[in-house]
Amino acid sequence: MKFNIRKYRNGIIFLLDIIIMSFVCSILFYFMGKSSEVVTISYFKLLPHLALLVACSTIFQCIFKTYDSLWRYAESKEYFMLLLGGVSGSISFVVLDRLVIDSSIPILFSGSVYSISLLLMLLMRFIYRLYRIREKYNNVQERIPLAIVGAGDAGIRLSEEIKNDPNSRYFTYCFLDDSEEKIGKYIHSIEVKGPIHNMYELLNNTPVQEIVMAIPSITATMRSSILDICSSIKCRVKTLPDTLTLMQNEEISLSNTIRDIKIEELLGREPVTFDEDKIVSLIAGKVVMVTGGGGSIGSELCRQIAKAHPLQLIIVDVYENNAYDIQQELLLNYQNILDLKVEIASVRDDEKVNLLFQRYQPNIVFHAAAHKHVPLMEECPEEAIKNNIFGTYNVVLAADRWKTEKFVLISTDKAVNPTNIMGASKRFCEMILQSMKRISKTEYVAVRFGNVLGSNGSVIPLFQRQIEQGGPVTITDKRIIRFFMTIPEAAQLVLQAGSMANSSEVFVLDMGKPIKILDLAEKLIRLSGYEPNIDIPIIETGLRPGEKLYEELLMISEELIATPNHKIFVERQKEISPIELHDKLNILQRALDVGTGSALKRAMKMVVPTYRDPEEVNSRKATMDYADVIVENRKVEMVNVG
């Protein structure tokens, strides 16, 4: 059987302490006896003194739990407790040795025995710790050199955890910080370099392979700025969670919370925040239906709605797997608190839609059911028309028939001056809502936003998979620019817009500056520790059918009206009559009856006047640079209505 020394660690340390005390007691007795400082007695009579010494030491070291410490990880606290136990034991030993055993023994002898013993006990533990540290770092070449951005509490704690973890893949090479007080100093023998904006010069020609951002309270703007600097260095970049997440998981090791950079952290803007009270007042005590409730936006809507205490939540989706996933998640989180119903149905089925509205009579409907993939809808335009247009029309009419209070449509920036069937179909959906103005008591509203990070079919997860596989990263055109927002932002925007809805309005979110897809791909590659077009190539595959170079959030010649939320605006649009809408629907139905792709596209151009061929739009956009695009997207008249 293999001897497990760790099992008997406490006993071994205790035995070594006894050996030290016995040795010190014997040596001092020998030398002090020669100088007549100690009454001449035999070594045999020295045993009671030694026994008392061991007893006092053991009792107080047990009281202060020093034998329970792992001395290879010992810091100042462990050494202080050992010293405190030693002082207490020393006083007890000196007093008891004179009162109980032999009052003729000088105090100098008793005090010296214990003091020197304690010093050697401390030295023994310190030497053991140094040995373990040296043993641990014998193979330091196999560990990954790490730079920690932030020499605050989180950064220092992370460094200590890495140092004390024998299985860690890392060792801390340096800290980076902006504090003049810390720059040039050492924390636990690790140099603090800085300032952070000089990171490239500070880390260039060093062995650092990875960078960890350890500033939990950092703002989104500052994080983006630091990531821009990091992206110029050929290092993999990771981060610690924010302060709130760390507070909620105080018991978890910091080194276990290190994660890759999330793509939303590259947006360069603070997350858009919304009025939670307005959302709760909209949802609380209401029957809420979400069509397409199993999709990326729909499922996040369901999560946000569930938190706002609805009377009942109805999830409608044609895809049972997605509907089942969000159902099980909500049941697990809310159990009997949430009245949840799931219906498998298609919005194309007019009879089923009406049956569901009759059964549940929802107060609020969030309509997220739609086909959204541009290239697929170019290949199958009839599906976009049947599902997005006629499916929306079915739900809109059912909401009016069953006196729904509010109806919120999920729209897209691709509906603005569309160049593809999907975008044109969503623009027509907005027109359906406009046609209900003044003829329905239901308040209809559309919410328009850009690309949603992490949603099904989003380009970013594709980039990440391609980088993990070693490339290449594929983009359709290096000039492409897009607006981005996160899934939670999108869901909360929808809810906030619903709380502000009046009648047949289109809400637009200020999403900041658009982002070049090429820049995003290059930054993702660099933050993964690679060099674009050297380690991982970027290949241009050409624009897909119907794809636009630059998306817009505002219709040409329209204007935005400010709302109480400075990030949300209402787009002023021309009204469309129910008769005009019916004529347009008839045109589309006749095209569906013909069934050819060319007939369907001709029909879409007839019913959506802003629908253009992508070649026509892209040829104009191709002559514009990035700054021109931003200016064009900002040429809107803001009318303050508050």
466-480: pLDDT as tens digits:
888 888 999 988 888
Whether residue 623 is predicted with pLDDT greater than 60 in this model: the reply is: no
Q: What is the pLDDT of residue 134?
A: 59
Whether residue 291 is predicted with pLDDT greater than 90 in this model: the reply is: yes
What is the largest distance, in Å, between two alpha-carbon atoms of the chain?
A: 122
| Residue bearing the bigger pLDDT, 133 or 155 | 155
Q: What is the pLDDT of residue 633?
A: 46
User: How many CB atoms are located within 10 Å of the residue 115 CB?
Assistant: 14
Q: What is the pLDDT of residue 103?
A: 58
Q: What is the pLDDT of residue 109?
A: 67
Q: What is the pLDDT of residue 621?
A: 54
| Residue bearing the bigger pLDDT, 131 or 422 | 422
The helix, strand and coil proportions of the chain, stated in percent and rounded to the nearest 5, come to: 50, 15, 35
Which of the four pLDDT bands, split at 50, 70 and 90, describes residue 640? very low
How far is it, in rounded angstroms, from Cα 271 to Cα 220?
8
Whether residue 289 is predicted with pLDDT greater than 90 in this model: the reply is: yes
| Average pLDDT of the segment spanning 177-199 | 89
Q: What is the pLDDT of residue 135?
A: 54
Note the Cα 437 to chain centre separation in Å: 41
Whether residue 630 is predicted with pLDDT greater than 50 in this model: the reply is: no
How far is it, in rounded angstroms, from Cα 151 to Cα 574?
57
Whether residue 486 is predicted with pLDDT greater than 50 in this model: the reply is: yes
Q: What is the pLDDT of residue 307?
A: 92
Which of the four pLDDT bands, split at 50, 70 and 90, describes residue 632? very low
Whether residue 622 is predicted with pLDDT greater than 70 in this model: the reply is: no
Which of the four pLDDT bands, split at 50, 70 and 90, describes residue 74? low
Closest to 424 (Cα-Cα) out of 433, 415, 432 = 415
Which of the four pLDDT bands, split at 50, 70 and 90, describes residue 106? low
Range among 134-138, 240-244, 429-433, 617-621 with highest mean pLDDT value: 429-433
| Average pLDDT of the segment spanning 298-326 | 95
Calculate what percentage of the chain has a pLDDT beyond 70. Answer: 76
| Residue bearing the bigger pLDDT, 284 or 94 | 284
Q: Which long-range contacts (CB under 8 A, 24 or more apart) does 189-197 make?
A: 190/159, 192/151, 196/149, 196/226, 196/229, 197/229
| Residue bearing the bigger pLDDT, 383 or 90 | 383
Q: What is the pLDDT of residue 42?
A: 56
Range among 121-135, 358-372, 464-478, 569-583 with highest mean pLDDT value: 358-372
CA-angle at 451, arms to 447 and 454, nearest 5°: 115
Tokens describing residue 387: 């599902």
Range among 18-32, 193-207, 346-360, 403-417 with highest mean pLDDT value: 346-360
* Average pLDDT of the residues of the chain: 80
| Average pLDDT of the segment spanning 208-230 | 83
| Average pLDDT of the segment spanning 14-24 | 76
pLDDT in tens, 148-169: 998 888 888 888 888 777 777 8
How far is it, in rounded angstroms, from Cα 407 to Cα 212?
45
Contact between 72 and 128 (Cβ < 8 Å): yes
Q: What is the pLDDT of residue 637?
A: 33
| Choice among 118-122, 290-294, 374-378 with the minimum mean pLDDT | 118-122
pLDDT in tens, 488-516: 778 888 888 788 867 678 888 776 677 78
Which of the four pLDDT bands, split at 50, 70 and 90, describes residue 314? very high
Q: What is the pLDDT of residue 250?
A: 57
Q: What is the pLDDT of residue 634?
A: 43
pLDDT in tens, 540-599: 988 878 777 776 655 444 567 777 777 778 887 778 999 999 999 999 999 999 989 899
Tokens describing residue 20: 């030290």
Go through the domains of the chain in sequence order and give each one's CATH number. 5-136 (no CATH), 143-261 (3.40.50.720), 276-455+483-511+552-639 (3.40.50.720)
For 16, counting Cβ atoms within 10 Å of its Cβ (0-12 exposed, 13-18 middle, 19+ buried), the class is middle
| Average pLDDT of the segment spanning 393-422 | 93
Q: Which residues pair with 170 in a beta bridge?
A: 144
